[in-house]
């Protein structure tokens, strides 16, 4: 394919990505070092109250936003260096907490709280998703053919359901008078409320995520299982390999590229955990990095959005995912070099 044709074919997609992904990245980078705020001016205001013999007048200086010619508040943008980052991550406070080994103190700062949850969420769900997905694939593969269709249908349901709705569905089972909380209360005989402390919410969030993503891992692994070399399995059988050994030494190595693929996708998706916070309404106890940015971006009481602080937290979030992905990207790169 000549370069010209290639360029024409690729153009719509690349332009799309440049305008809507690369450009915002640059703009976020710029915003994270600047601060946009209304221009203010000090105005001398004299307020007089009518009195008995004369007026009492008070003169005071008020800070007011300047209104431009078009009737809108003028804003100015100034370069502030690392100020936004410092506002988000509060390094001084965080450092003080770390040096005095005050974990609870560190968790007082939203950014570190979000980072802690996001990372633990990512790394706890990763092996669970891979494990459940693999177990499901092996189980379905051993079921009679006629049953596989319905089983796959039901298995796919949690995967396609809207994340916010899925989280809500599980929340409604466990919320105050939800059916499963009632069941647990009847079983243990104690009062249980699943949404009154952080760790129970975290468990529910992780449960939800595994429930939601394991079917994806299942479909991929199940597809991979169809191409396992039967001769190798039979040869292993003749050599006296047990069932576990056959899985360990033949099936898992065969699926390895797929396991890496699912792990990669899951790492990316779990790191941007967000819908769970909305669905479980956990913002008072548990927040994630992406929720932190979302929170900065939603208009506050006065209708202003903290765009600059959101940019700083976005940049920090992005640095995190790049660090997580470096090993996997190097792996892909080496494979590509090797395959040529």
Q: Judged by CB, which is closer to other proteins: 86, or 180?
A: 180
We find the least distance from the C-beta atom of residue 266 to other proteins, in angstroms, to be 11
Can you tell me the distance from the alpha carbon of 158 to that of 229, in angstroms, rounded to the nearest whole number?
Answer: 31
We find the least distance from the C-beta atom of residue 291 to other proteins, in angstroms, to be 8
Burial of 6 (C-beta count, 10 Å sphere; 0-12/13-18/19+): exposed
Q: Judged by CB, which is closer to other proteins: 98, or 169?
A: 169
We find the least distance from the C-beta atom of residue 33 to other proteins, in angstroms, to be 13
Contact between 117 and 288 (Cβ < 8 Å): yes
Structure tokens at 43: 């105005």
We find the least distance from the C-beta atom of residue 140 to other proteins, in angstroms, to be 7
We find the least distance from the C-beta atom of residue 36 to other proteins, in angstroms, to be 8
* Measured distance between the N- and C-terminal CA atoms of the chain, rounded to whole angstroms: 18
- List, as one string, the DSSP characters of 172-227: HHHSTT-HHHHHHHHHH-S---TTSSHHHHHHHHHHHHHHHHHHHHHHHHHHHHTT
We find the least distance from the C-beta atom of residue 21 to other proteins, in angstroms, to be 5
Contact between 22 and 61 (Cβ < 8 Å): no
Closest CA to 111 of 87, 81, 144, 135: 87
Q: Judged by CB, which is closer to other proteins: 96, or 237?
A: 237
Q: Judged by CB, which is closer to other proteins: 6, or 95?
A: 6
Q: Judged by CB, which is closer to other proteins: 36, or 41?
A: 36
Can you tell me the distance from the alpha carbon of 288 to that of 264, in angstroms, rounded to the nearest whole number?
Answer: 19
Q: Judged by CB, which is closer to other proteins: 94, or 132?
A: 132
């Amino acid at each position: 394919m000549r370069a010209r044709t290639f360029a024409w074919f690729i153009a719509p997609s690349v332009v799309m990505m440049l305008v809507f992904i690369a450009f915002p990245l640059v703009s976020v980078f710029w915003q994270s070092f600047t601060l946009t705020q209304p221009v203010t001016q000090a105005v001398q205001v004299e307020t007089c109250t009518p009195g008995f013999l004369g007026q009492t007048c008070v003169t005071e200086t008020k800070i007011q936003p300047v209104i431009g010619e078009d009737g809108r508040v003028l804003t100015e943008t100034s370069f502030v260096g690392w100020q936004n980052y410092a506002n988000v991550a509060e390094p001084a406070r965080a450092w003080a907490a770390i040096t005095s080994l005050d974990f609870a103190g560190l968790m007082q700062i939203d950014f570190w709280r979000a980072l802690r949850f996001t990372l633990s969420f990512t790394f706890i769900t990763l092996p669970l998703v891979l494990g459940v997905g693999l177990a499901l694939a092996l189980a379905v593969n051993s079921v009679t053919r006629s049953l596989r269709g319905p089983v796959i249908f039901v298995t796919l349901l949690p995967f396609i359901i809207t994340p916010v709705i899925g989280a809500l569905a599980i929340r409604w089972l466990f919320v105050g008078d939800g059916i499963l909380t009632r069941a647990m209360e009847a079983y243990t005989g104690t009062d249980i409320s699943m949404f009154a402390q952080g760790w129970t919410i975290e468990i529910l969030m992780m449960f939800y995520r595994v429930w939601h993503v394991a079917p994806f891992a299942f479909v991929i692994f199940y597809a991979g299982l169809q191409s396992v070399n039967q001769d190798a399995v039979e040869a292993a059988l003749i050599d006296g390999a047990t069932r576990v050994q056959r899985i360990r030494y033949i099936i898992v190595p065969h699926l390895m590229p797929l396991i890496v693929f699912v792990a990669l996708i899951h790492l990316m998706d779990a790191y941007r955990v967000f819908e769970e916070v909305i669905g479980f309404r956990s913002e008072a106890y548990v927040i994630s990095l992406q929720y932190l940015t979302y929170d900065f971006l939603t208009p506050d009481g006065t209708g202003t959005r903290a765009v600059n602080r959101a940019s700083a937290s976005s940049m920090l979030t992005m640095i995190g995912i790049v660090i997580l992905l470096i090993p996997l990207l190097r792996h892909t790169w080496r494979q590509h070099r090797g395959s040529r």
